[in-house]
Amino acid sequence: MTLLEVKDLAVEFTTAEGVVRAVRGVDFTVEAGRTLGIVGESGSGKSVTSLAVMGLHRGAAVTGSVRFQGTELIGAPEETVRQLRGRRMAMVFQDALTSLHPYFTIGDQIAEAHRAHFGTGRRAALARAVEVLGDVGIPEPARRAGEYPHQFSGGMRQRAMIALALSCEPDLIIADEPTTALDVTVQAQVLELLMKIQQDRGLGIIMITHDLGVIARVADEVLVMYGGAAAEQAPAETLFSTPRHPYTQGLLDSLPRLDAADGDPLHAIPGSPPSLLSPPAGCAFHPRCARYAAAPEEVRAVCTDGRPPLRLVAEQHRSACLLDPPSAGRTTHQEVTA
């Protein structure tokens, strides 16, 4: 069952220095019980995409279509979005300490969400808060519900955020870098918890992260974003085994891996991510692209002419590269000489 269908989503901000085109036409769907991983570096547009889906894009111009369980959210009255947000779709943010209110107890904050959406009485809502805190593995939930965010450790706070998201039994959870601020042993616990909850309740999850390891761990489908647009989209196994877009390939080649042979060199991608204020003409990746650099002048002119569309390159596998050869060839960057 399709929970969320996003088509041609674009987000623009007007700043003093000009218009920032943070997201430039992104398509994806999220199915119930499945996890879509959105991966990208800073400025790729991955977080802005999620905020736009949730209707949390203050001051930005959003166009395109976001259909959640059949309801169009773009252009919908604020009240419609408000009734869904936190109820049918919920968000888990990276930094639980700034996302939770420091003056209210954890239990009160969870209960408040429940009361707002269901009109539950104070006592029943608090009981519900204690229940979900228990569900996410917080020991002594009845006592901990009476504590404030600063009394929780980083991992426990992130669990409390997940409890808050779960309290109204949503169908979709958007998790934006939920484990980035956590230590790796605690990250493993939180990912485990999210996967267990998904299994138990058939939730759809959007996992936004820069960490390809986290994507490999939890995602069924993956969307790779670069410079505000989709670079590649594929089932997770396909993406990691046969990446097609030169950016995805470059990203995987530049990653030090625990499972690599000892002494394998890293192949860095030269240059830096593009500025969204003045993005390069054509394909946003071309100034850093090994395939572009290797192609003859007349062939690669397409890379600067216009933005390459996402094209089907294999079953369920899309890549936005006009130089992408029909059979999966791989151009790697030479060993980094910095």
Partner 1 sequence: MTAPLLTVQDLGMTFPGGNGTFRRRAGIRAVDGVSFDVRPGETLGLVGESGCGKSTTGRMLVRLLDPTAGRVGFHGRDITRIGQRELRPLRSKLQIIFQDPFASLNPRQTVQQIVSAPLRAQGTEPKRIAAEVRDLIRLVGLAPEHLERYPHQFSGGQAQRIGIARALATRPELVVADEPVSALDVSIQAQIVGLMERLQRELGVAYVFIAHDLAVVRHISHRVAVMYLGRIVEIGDKREVYERPAHPYTKALLSAVPLPDPLAERRRERIVLLGDPPSPANPPSGCTFHPRCPKAQQICRTEAPLLRITSADSARQAACHFPEG
Residues engaged in binding partner 1 (CB under 8 A): 41-42, 153-156, 183-189, 191-192, 210-217, 219, 236-237, 240-241, 250-252, 254-260, 262, 265-270, 272-273, 288, 335-338
Least CB distance from residue 158 to partner 1, whole Å?
Answer: 11
Q: In what order do the strands lie in the sheet with 221-226?
A: 89-92, 172-176, 204-209, 35-39, 221-226, 229-235, 317-319, 311-314
Least CB distance from residue 217 to partner 1, whole Å?
Answer: 4
- Which of 11, 138 has the CB closer to partner 1? 138
**Of residues 17, 18, 11, 67, the one with CA closest to residue 44:** 11
Least CB distance from residue 210 to partner 1, whole Å?
Answer: 6
Q: Tell me, what amino acid is at 84?
A: L
- Which of 117, 217 has the CB closer to partner 1? 217
60 CB contacts (<8 Å, ≥6 apart)? 11, 12, 13, 22, 48, 52
- Which of 153, 304 has the CB closer to partner 1? 153
- Which of 217, 318 has the CB closer to partner 1? 217
**Nearest 5°: CA angle at 10, between 9 and 11?**
130
Least CB distance from residue 280 to partner 1, whole Å?
Answer: 15
What's the half-sphere exposure (Cβ side, CA atoms, 13 Å) at 232? 27
Pairing of strands 172-176, 2-15: unpaired
Least CB distance from residue 307 to partner 1, whole Å?
Answer: 20
- Which of 104, 240 has the CB closer to partner 1? 240
- Which of 5, 95 has the CB closer to partner 1? 95
Classified as helix, coil or strand, 128 is: helix
Least CB distance from residue 169 to partner 1, whole Å?
Answer: 26
Distance between terminal CA atoms of the chain?
A: 48
Cβ-contact 178, 190 below 8 angstroms: yes
Least CB distance from residue 183 to partner 1, whole Å?
Answer: 4
- Residue 285 tokens read as 């990746």
- Which of 143, 257 has the CB closer to partner 1? 257
Least CB distance from residue 100 to partner 1, whole Å?
Answer: 17
CA distance 206 to 50: 8
Burial 118-149 (b: 16+ CB within 10 A, else e): eeeeeeebbbbbbbbbbbbbbeebeebbebeb
Cβ-contact 90, 3 below 8 angstroms: no
- Which of 64, 154 has the CB closer to partner 1? 154
- Residue 12 tokens read as 């623009």
